[in-house]
Amino acid sequence: MKAKKIISFILAISMIAIALSGCNNKANDKDEQGRTVFSISGYPTKEGTSKESFDRKVTKFNEENTDAVVVPDVWNFELKTFYAKAAGNQLPNVFDTRYTEVAQCIDSGYVADITDALKNRGYEGKFNPAVLDIVTKDGKIYGFPYDAALQGLAINTELFEKAGLMEADGTPKQPKDWNELAEFAVKIKEATGKAGFVFPTSDNVGGWIFTCLAWSFGVDFMEQGEDGKWKAIFNSPEAAEALSFIKDLKWKYDVLPANALINYDEYMKAYATGNAAMMIIDTAVVNNVSKYGMTPEQIGMMPIPAGPKGRVSLVAGSPYMFTAESTDDQIDAGLRYLEMSYNYNATNNFKEQKERSIQIALEENRLVGLKKFSVWDKDTESVKFESELIEKNQNANPNHVRLYNEFIENPDIEIRPEEPVCAQELYALLDGCIQEVLTNKDADCATLLDKAVSDFQSNYLDNLSY
């Protein structure tokens, strides 16, 4: 009797639990009036200009589009929560992510193929191919790229000034190649006592930046055989040379900070608080160092130095993606919403949104003055409008960002997407190699890379399931 009671109780609980776990708030894509309802990520939780601006945009969209309703969602993309929310059908239909996570989002099967939707809205041939490549897999487009930035060299102009590394007109000197960068770093360290250069080493950021540096040394990380299998090949003399360069920065030139465990936050902090004079980073991020108290006047930006095999950079930035469950109507409405802020035509909406976003940046004392690497084809109306707007409203010292802005007009550089498979795992292994050469004076770069290649091959490439 007692056992029966317990069993029936457990059964009842299981049913409630199953019912609970089966719930989801995936909105029906139509409301009572037949309008398409879709949600979008990134709704600010804090009261202030950004939230007001978001609200205004939402209201305007709902007014102008009588067949659609946008619902803001406070979730911001983070890979850790992305999968759980996706599996539970809790993602907003349209969400903002980063290029470095795109491959993982596509592989997971939780994002929609929007090739046809883009075609229907006339986007064919409109995007910059270098950017579109990042969100394309097997000929299908999975994202709407809206922001792109090339990795370059961010510098602290005050430290450059103190080290005598400014031209007479106030333009910072450009280290042409990595060796010259090391020489600059030594001068800065001697003149100011601060680290001349900072290189990240953990949370996969070190590996991410290292790939860029290694490409300029002529490193290939992996290759695909005729049978479709991937082979790790970065135990080459070129890779050893690139890793030795990092090692020399520590042990030969002694220009790095004492800490050898530098994650993304530490990386930003070292630069933004004036404890390191140079870092490799994309322009989008440099705009956001004001939270550490860095003023626009202190920021300088220039192209990435060249390696023995030339100058190579990586495109960083963000696309919007759509969840796999989104209906065609939701994707179409979502694209219309995105077009208000991101458009190849300089529409009135676009102009208004851009002007407002620049005003917000100025209010928050974020850097305005760096030209964008365009997601659109070169001669689009909106790019010209935005460039002029930035020039008109800049709070950066034009001399400090001149080298980068001139370069971005006509980038004579090889632009590469991230490594095609298991990029994050590769970065983690490279992080380990970098940490080892920075903490162990006697580390042998070639041996370390041999081990990393064999680990990468057997732990990841040989186990590829999708």
Nearest-angstrom CA–CA distance, 161 and 180? 17
Count how many Cα atoms sit within 13 Å of the Cα of residue 323 in the half-sphere of its side chain.
Answer: 24
DSSP 8-state code for residue 199 = -
Nearest-angstrom CA–CA distance, 330 and 325? 10
Nearest-angstrom CA–CA distance, 371 and 401? 9
Residues in touch with another protein (CB under 8 A): 5, 9, 13-14, 16-17, 20-21, 79-80, 83-84, 86-87, 101, 103-104, 107-110, 201-204, 257-261, 263, 422, 424-425, 428, 431-433, 435-436, 438-440, 454-455, 458-459, 463, 465-466
- 433 and 448 Cβ atoms separated by less than 8 Å: yes
Nearer to another protein, 224 or 459 (CB): 459
Nearer to another protein, 348 or 465 (CB): 465
Residues facing residue 319 across a β-bridge: 145
How would DSSP label each residue in 246-271?
A: HHHHHHTS--S-S-----HHHHHHHH
DSSP 8-state code for residue 121 = T
Tell me the closest approach of the beta carbon of residue 270 to another protein, in angstroms. 11
Structure tokens at 426: 């590769």
Give the alpha-carbon dihedral of 152, 158, 164, 168, to 10 degrees.
80
Helix axes 178-192, 237-251, angle to 10 degrees: 10
Nearer to another protein, 14 or 224 (CB): 14
Nearer to another protein, 5 or 392 (CB): 5
Tell me the closest approach of the beta carbon of residue 331 to another protein, in angstroms. 21
Nearer to another protein, 128 or 201 (CB): 201
Nearer to another protein, 377 or 455 (CB): 455
Closest CA to 421 of 222, 243, 236: 222
The dihedrals phi and psi of 4, each to the nearest 5 degrees, come to: -60, -45
- 309 and 218 Cβ atoms separated by less than 8 Å: yes
Nearer to another protein, 24 or 345 (CB): 24
Tell me the closest approach of the beta carbon of residue 276 to another protein, in angstroms. 12
- 369 and 404 Cβ atoms separated by less than 8 Å: no
Tell me the closest approach of the beta carbon of residue 207 to another protein, in angstroms. 12
Tell me the closest approach of the beta carbon of residue 191 to another protein, in angstroms. 18
How would DSSP label each residue in 388-449?
A: HHHHHH--S-HHHHHHHHHHHHS--SEEE---SSSHHHHHHHHHHHHHHHHH-TT--HHHHH
DSSP 8-state code for residue 134 = G
Nearest-angstrom CA–CA distance, 405 and 397? 12
Nearer to another protein, 125 or 193 (CB): 193
Nearer to another protein, 177 or 450 (CB): 450
Tell me the closest approach of the beta carbon of residue 439 to another protein, in angstroms. 5
Tell me the closest approach of the beta carbon of residue 183 to another protein, in angstroms. 23
Tell me the closest approach of the beta carbon of residue 435 to another protein, in angstroms. 4
Nearer to another protein, 16 or 119 (CB): 16
Tell me the closest approach of the beta carbon of residue 336 to another protein, in angstroms. 29
Residues facing residue 96 across a β-bridge: 320
Nearest-angstrom CA–CA distance, 426 and 416? 16
Tell me the closest approach of the beta carbon of residue 202 to another protein, in angstroms. 4
- 246 and 440 Cβ atoms separated by less than 8 Å: no
Closest CA to 213 of 304, 317, 140, 274: 304
Tell me the closest approach of the beta carbon of residue 64 to another protein, in angstroms. 36
Nearer to another protein, 7 or 87 (CB): 87
- Pairing relation of β-strands 312-322 and 94-96? antiparallel
